[in-house]
Amino acid sequence: MAPPLLLLQEIHLALGTTRLLAGATLSVGAGERLVLVGRNGSGKSTLLKVAAGMLTPEKGTRFLQPGATLRYLPQEPDLAGYDSVLAYVEEGLTAGDDPHRAHWLLDQLGLTGEEDPARLSGGEARRAALARALAPKPDILLLDEPTNHLDLPAIAWLEQELRQMRGALVTISHDRRFLENLSRAMVWLDRGTTRRLEQGFSKFEEWRDKILEEEEMEAHKLDRQIVREEHWMRYGVTARRKRNVRRVGELAGLRQRRREALSATGNVRMAASEAEGGGTVVMQAESITKGYGEAAPVVRDFSTRILRRDRVGIVGPNGAGKTTLLNLLTGQLAPDEGSVRLGTSLAMVTLDQKRESLDPNTSLSAVLTGGHGDQVDVGGQRRHVIGYMKDFLFAPDQARTAVGVLSGGERGRLMLARAMATPSNLLVLDEPTNDLDLETLDLLEELLNDYGGTVLVVSHDRDFLDRVCTSVIVSEGDGAWQEYAGGYSDMVAQRGRGVEAKASAEAPTSQRGEPRAAPTPPPPAKSRLTFKQQHALASLPAQIAKLEGEIAQVQQALASPGLYERDRARFERFTAALTAKQDELGKAEEAWLELEMLREEAGG
């Protein structure tokens, strides 16, 4: 077996009073495709910086094979001090690297190289940093949230480029579809240490949940006292991953209603605080058109009718006009032609993707309470701020933590908590998944599922759109927009392709005349369910309900005071039976979910 190119052993590191790494290990071999996962604040970015040689651990060793080249993409690239984007990218090249590749990568990523770094958007800065990291064709590439601020065409291009690279890859990302497409092994950072799974992301969550379930069961067997807050934060969120029958069934029902509404018009346990009132029709757009100056309209002759409880995704490449369309639909921008009619008593809450509305000097609890007292009004009920914080996976001792020291993911969670505590019947979410870890994404999906109002969301996260949306409005180019019932995958199946890069006057080519990479072909449409699958889909809900009843009975028996001391053998039989029943229930729910998704993709 060949020695690793990069090896971290027994890494220990604390930042301030917080110990992030307590014996973490990372081994990267030639050509490996590793994904580093863990909750926000667990130390993933810190471990990646140690791997990149940017941080020195208090204890432990870092070994990099002599002569091996390594490049690192930070979450927030710093282009200060460079006269142009090209100068920034070329500065990352070394002797022997092909200078033409820097030009080619910038062209592929929609940049000329002449841009002023000080005037770049977040997405453009991320593209420039990607070009700098990829240009040398390194032996090891470390990527920290590479898809943040990228649009769907750029994400598809990046996936294809990374598949073709020969070097090793270590990635931190929240984008499930991106991880599924690229990963071959997983490294889970949890409580300062690492575990490794020699399989891709599709197997990770099941593996992680099994480990946590075994830990929890062992704690019960040994009769240990588990701190309630830690128990909830560590073990409670794993149940959210499996979308239960009720949740998926409700989404299927909403999608069917949206399908019928579009057909009729021809073109058209936490609870969020919901404002009183609000009619069935939330907004209705009739043949709206909007342009700027002499340029072609970014929205042309678009009509839609959005109803209460609809979850509508808006997708398209950067520059297509997603924000313009969003502002038109919500009445913040008047159309040049056509009309928009808003429903009565709308109370809108907007989640801003840059988290700019958070004061870095304000404490976490003050953000949620408005600085008054220790109570939060949620859904008409007064709740203590500590209890509400726990719903969003914050520990009680973080109540007085200043916003400025929170990680990007923690700030995202805090924005969610504040938004969901504000009375509303219309949520407008602009890239809500940026910086969120997998557990928080599950939390967000659950919140949106339980929300009684309407949701408009702009997102480049394909898996999130699949799990949340009842319909997707996609840019067709030249100012045209079309709405499709279902999530992102449903849109691809109906449309025959995904989101393409925004067309330009001439087909762009590289400095060396190389054409752009061909778009990734869409997945084939699913065929209709077989008779056996239809029978399983019909019978599984009853089987699931029966298993839930049996699990409740076993849990009730286990809850008997002093059972462990009185009859240890019986206690162990019950715990073994509980584990088996829960495993059987999980498999039944997964089977039902898979069949339900197949039924939806087959069109009913």
Stronger pLDDT, 537 or 107, i.e. the higher one? 107
Predicted local distance difference test score (pLDDT) of residue 526: 44
Predicted local distance difference test score (pLDDT) of residue 140: 97
In the chain, the percentage of residues whose pLDDT exceeds 90 is 42
Same domain, 488 and 554: no
Position 241 in a domain: no
pLDDT digits (tens, 9 = 90+) for 238-276: 555 554 455 666 777 788 877 877 766 544 433 455 444
pLDDT confidence bin for 224, thresholds 50/70/90: very low
pLDDT confidence bin for 521, thresholds 50/70/90: very low
Please compute the mean of the pLDDT values over residues 526-541 and round it to a whole number: 72
Which stretch, 57-66, 223-232, 412-421, has highest mean pLDDT?
Answer: 57-66
Position 41 in a domain: yes
Same domain, 265 and 406: yes
Residue corresponding to tokens 């019909």: 538
Distance between CA atoms of residues 205 and 266, nearest Å: 41
pLDDT digits (tens, 9 = 90+) for 145-201: 999 888 899 999 999 999 999 999 999 998 999 999 999 999 999 989 999 999 999
242, 244, 339, 581 from 546: Cα distances, Å = 18, 14, 52, 10
Predicted local distance difference test score (pLDDT) of residue 547: 83
Same domain, 295 and 151: no
Predicted local distance difference test score (pLDDT) of residue 271: 45
Number of domains observed in the structure of the chain: 3
Residue 328 pLDDT more than 90? Answer: yes
Stronger pLDDT, 36 or 215, i.e. the higher one? 36
Same domain, 476 and 588: no
| Enclosing domain of residue 59 | 6-207
Predicted local distance difference test score (pLDDT) of residue 587: 78
- Phi, psi for residue 144 in degrees, rounded to 5: -105, 105
Asked which of 179, 207, 235 is the last residue of a domain, the reply is 207
Same domain, 465 and 390: yes
Q: What's the CATH code of the domain at 571?
A: 1.10.287.380
Residue 221 pLDDT more than 80? Answer: no
Distance between CA atoms of residues 461 and 150, nearest Å: 10
Predicted local distance difference test score (pLDDT) of residue 497: 87
Same domain, 383 and 328: yes
Position 512 in a domain: no
Entry field: residues in the chain = 604
**Angle between the 245-265 and 568-601 helix axes, to the nearest 10 degrees?**
10
Predicted local distance difference test score (pLDDT) of residue 339: 94
Position 220 in a domain: no
Question: DSSP letter at 37?
Answer: E
Average pLDDT of the residues of the chain: 82
Predicted local distance difference test score (pLDDT) of residue 391: 78
Predicted local distance difference test score (pLDDT) of residue 266: 46
Same domain, 534 and 489: no
Predicted local distance difference test score (pLDDT) of residue 213: 78
Same domain, 92 and 187: yes
3-state secondary structure of 121: coil
Closest CA to 50 of 66, 33, 72, 75: 72
Predicted local distance difference test score (pLDDT) of residue 233: 47
Residue 496 pLDDT more than 50? Answer: yes
Please compute the mean of the pLDDT values over residues 467-481 and round it to a whole number: 93
448, 468 contact by CB (below 8 A): yes
Stronger pLDDT, 105 or 518, i.e. the higher one? 105
Same domain, 130 and 276: no
Residue 570 pLDDT more than 80? Answer: yes
Least confident of 7-16, 198-207, 217-226: 217-226
Predicted local distance difference test score (pLDDT) of residue 222: 52
Q: What's the CATH code of the domain at 331?
A: 3.40.50.300
Position 503 in a domain: no
- Work out whether strand 348-351 and strand 18-28 pair parallel, antiparallel, or are unpaired: unpaired
Stronger pLDDT, 101 or 357, i.e. the higher one? 101
Asked which of 442, 474, 495 is the last residue of a domain, the reply is 495
Predicted local distance difference test score (pLDDT) of residue 102: 93
Same domain, 296 and 356: yes
pLDDT confidence bin for 88, thresholds 50/70/90: very high
Closest CA to 474 of 488, 455, 456: 488
pLDDT digits (tens, 9 = 90+) for 95-129: 888 889 999 999 999 899 999 999 988 888 999 99
Residue 330 pLDDT more than 90? Answer: yes
Position 565 in a domain: yes
Same domain, 135 and 196: yes
Asked which of 148, 182, 207 is the last residue of a domain, the reply is 207
Please compute the mean of the pLDDT values over residues 3-11 and round it to a whole number: 94
Same domain, 85 and 163: yes
Position 213 in a domain: no
Predicted local distance difference test score (pLDDT) of residue 299: 95
Q: What is the 3-state secondary structure (H, E, C) of 171-198?
A: EECCCHHHHHHHCCEEEEEECCEEEEEC
**Terminal Cα-to-Cα distance of the chain (whole angstroms):** 51
Position 119 in a domain: yes
Predicted local distance difference test score (pLDDT) of residue 600: 62
Least confident of 147-161, 251-265, 340-354, 454-468: 251-265
pLDDT confidence bin for 356, thresholds 50/70/90: low
Predicted local distance difference test score (pLDDT) of residue 511: 35
- Kindly tell me the sign of the dihedral angle through the C-alpha atoms of 484, 486, 492, 495: negative
Stronger pLDDT, 504 or 42, i.e. the higher one? 42
416, 434 contact by CB (below 8 A): no
3-state secondary structure of 128: helix
pLDDT digits (tens, 9 = 90+) for 119-157: 988 888 999 999 999 999 999 999 999 998 888 999 999
Least confident of 58-67, 158-167, 406-415: 406-415
